[in-house]
Structure formats: structure tokens, C-alpha cells
């Protein structure tokens, strides 16, 4: 791995943004890396935009990622991936779930929600490395709920080999931190995400 690897995880409060960041962070610690992360709680979590910073490396200082310095942006929602472009550069990989959650304000104030193709077009101005996946849709099909969509995304990330960890390292973390009653479903969804890479 390079000296450091910077990840922005975004989404809507309640989508499991902090959980996903936490799983990656613990996997990194197990692999002997230094980890620095920053997250927001409280008011920001009530269906508002949420942005977590996660840095993995040797010896890190700031818990925040500088503008233009993200290696990877993981978004649980397509509009939120656009909000994170300030952290992107030409090499950044964008990974986002295609399931929209249109903010109510966009109906009220008539600020239109961009189409998926428009979102991709706008992302391409920053980086060509774009992976869109139907994490929520596929998770809902498999489990009847979208709650584990973040685990699906993690599975896909493992398959893409963007992060400097092997698939088994993530599985190990999942086994460690997911409560017993939910572990089987999580591993199943993780596998679905893993196999979604064609």
C-alpha cells in the first residue's frame, strides 16, 4: 500500500455509513495499520447528509481528509456521491448505491434531483473510475429490507480489490463485530455483493 489510503463514506443518516466505516477501520487495525477517522452524530443523523472520513496508513495526523485527497469515495446514495466530489482527484474511485432517496426539500423547493446518467456525467469530470451498484435493490430482494445494503457494498469493495485487504480479512471483522442474530444474513449479503462484480 501507498503511504496512506483515504476513504470518504457518505450517505443519508440511518443508512449505516458509520458502521461501514467502522468495519473497514477495524480491518485495517487488524492488518497493522494506523487508522484515523472522523464522524458526526446527533442532528446530522436524522435523514440528513452524513459524511465520515477514514484514513489508513503508517503515521497519520489529521482525522480529516484534505480536499482532493480521497482515494476512494463510498456513497450509500447517488446524490451524496456528488456532494463528496470536493475530496476527489483524477485517480479517485467512486463507488455508489443507485437507490435514490430524494430529499423532501427537493420536492418542496422544486430543486430537481439529478438523473443517474447526469450524476455519472458530473462524476466523470473528476474521475473516470466509477462503480455504480444496486446494493439496496439487491439486498432488499434477498432479505426483504435494505438494512444490510452497506454489507453488500463491502462485499463488492472486497471483490474490486480497491482496499489493501483480502476478502477473508473483512469476513473476520464481520464475524467479530456483527451481533450473533444477524451474522448469517450479513455474510450472505456480503457474498452477494462480492459476486456482483462481473
Partner 1 sequence: MKSDVLKKKGKAILLGNEAIVRGALEAGVMFAAAYPGTPSSEIGMTFAKLAKSVGAYFEFSSNEKVATEVAAGAAFSGVKSLVCFKHFGFNVASDSIYPLAYNGVQAGMVIVVADDPGCHSSGQSEQDSRYFPRIGHMPLLEPADPQECKDFTKFAFSLSEKLNIPVIIRITTRVAHASSVVNLGKILKGKRKGKFKKGNAHRTMPPDMINVHAELNDKLHKLSVNNKINFVKPGKGRVGIIANSVAYHYVCEAMKELKLNLPVLKLGLTWPFPETVVKNFIKNLDKVLIVEELEPVIEKEVSAVAKDTNPKLKVIGKTHIPDICELRQELVMKALAKITNKKYSVPEEVKLKLPKRLPTFCPGCPHRATFWSVKKAVPKDTVFGGDIGCYIMGIFPPTNMTDFVISMGASEGVSHGVAKATDKKPVAFIGDSTFFHAGMPGLVNTVFNKSNMMTVCLDNRWTAMTGHQQNPGTGMTAMGDKTKALKIEEIGKAFELDNVTVVNAYNLKDTTEKVKDVYKKSGSSLIVSKGECRLQFMRRARHKGIKVPVFEIDPEKCTKCGICLEKFGCPAIQRTKDGTYFIDKAVCWGCSACAQVCPVNAISPVKKKK
151-170: contacts with partner 1 (CB under 8 A): none
**Which triple of cell numbers denotes residue 24?**
473497514
**Which triple of cell numbers denotes residue 72?**
476512494
By three-state DSSP, how is residue 160 classified?
helix
Q: Does 7 bind partner 1 (CB under 8 A)?
A: no
* Cα–Cα distance list, 174 to 13, 16, 156 (Å): 21, 14, 14
Q: Does 76 bind partner 1 (CB under 8 A)?
A: no
Q: Does 85 bind partner 1 (CB under 8 A)?
A: yes
37-66: contacts with partner 1 (CB under 8 A): 37-49, 60-64, 66
By three-state DSSP, how is residue 172 classified?
helix
Contact 157, 163 (CB under 8 A): yes
Q: Does 121 bind partner 1 (CB under 8 A)?
A: no
* Residues at the contact surface with partner 1, assessed by CB under 8 A: 12-14, 19, 22, 25-26, 29, 34-49, 60-64, 66-68, 79-80, 82-83, 85-86, 101-109, 111-114, 122, 136, 140, 145-146, 176-177, 179
Amino acid at each position: 500500500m501507498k503511504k496512506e489510503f483515504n476513504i470518504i463514506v457518505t450517505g443519508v443518516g440511518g443508512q449505516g455509513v458509520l458502521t461501514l466505516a467502522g468495519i473497514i477501520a477495524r480491518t485495517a487495525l487488524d492488518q497493522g495499520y494506523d487508522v484515523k477517522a472522523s464522524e458526526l452524530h446527533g442532528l446530522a443523523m436524522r435523514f440528513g447528509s452524513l459524511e465520515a472520513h477514514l484514513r489508513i496508513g503508517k503515521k497519520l495526523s489529521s482525522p480529516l481528509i484534505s480536499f482532493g485527497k480521497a482515494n476512494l469515495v463510498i456513497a450509500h446514495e447517488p446524490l451524496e456521491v456528488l456532494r463528496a466530489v470536493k475530496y476527489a482527484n483524477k485517480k479517485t474511485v467512486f463507488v455508489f448505491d443507485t437507490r435514490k432517496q430524494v430529499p423532501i426539500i427537493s420536492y418542496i423547493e422544486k430543486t430537481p434531483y439529478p438523473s443517474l446518467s447526469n450524476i455519472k456525467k458530473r462524476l466523470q469530470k473528476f474521475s473516470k473510475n466509477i462503480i455504480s451498484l444496486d446494493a439496496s435493490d439487491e439486498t432488499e430482494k434477498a432479505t426483504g429490507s435494505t438494512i444490510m445494503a452497506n454489507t453488500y457494498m463491502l462485499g463488492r469493495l472486497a471483490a474490486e480489490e480497491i482496499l489493501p485487504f483480502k476478502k477473508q480479512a473483512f469476513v473476520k471483522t464481520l464475524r467479530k463485530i456483527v451481533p450473533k442474530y444477524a451474522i448469517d444474513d450479513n455474510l450472505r449479503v456480503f457474498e452477494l455483493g462480492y459476486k456482483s462484480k462481473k
